[in-house]
Amino acid sequence: MAYPQEFGPWLQAELDRRDWTTVFLSKKAGISQPHISRIIDGTRKPGPSTLAALAKGLDLPAETVFQKAGLLPPTKEKLDDLEKEWEYLFDQAGNDAERRELLERARFELARIRERRARYDID
């Protein structure tokens, strides 16, 4: 299966979205910074072990990164990428108490978002 040309720009967009540098990702993923830069500019194609390390460094499901790299076909699930990421993070909680804590924090943040949204609608 061929690597899509979009993988490098996708990886750069992930870094931009997080306000991360390639150096920061390098440290989190255990991959050299020049290797990451070459992947982003398209002069280097990542192999499976590199993709797995990038997934770990980005704290994303490996399936997502492998799909973006074209090594797995896109799934026809109902979950979009954000929902998959939430599910992945939720699964990282070690037990029910930690999952409840994540849900409680999410509910709190959602209430803050709704409050902020309502405040701007009124003003």
Its domain, for residue 22, covers: 7-68
* Same domain, yes or no: 60 and 94: no
**Same-domain pairing of 19 and 64:** yes
Q: How many angstroms separate the first and last alpha carbons of the chain?
A: 53
- In this predicted structure, the answer to whether residue 86 has a pLDDT above a threshold of 80 is yes
| pTM, two decimal places | 0.65
44 contacts 38 by C-beta, under 8 angstroms: yes
CA 95 to chain centre: 22
CATH number at residue 34: 1.10.260.40
Q: How many helices (H) and strands (E) does the chain have?
A: 7, 0
| Same domain flag for 85 and 57 | no
Q: What does the alpha-carbon distance between residue 119 and residue 19 come to, in Å, rounded to a whole number?
A: 28
Span 39-75, pLDDT tens digits? 999 999 999 999 999 999 998 889 889 999 988 877 6
| Mean pLDDT score across all residues of the chain | 87
How many structural domains is the chain composed of?
2
Q: Are residues 85 and 55 in the same domain?
A: no
Question: 58 and 107: one domain?
Answer: no
Read off the amino acid at residue 80.
Answer: D
Whether residues 59 and 88 share a domain: the answer is: no
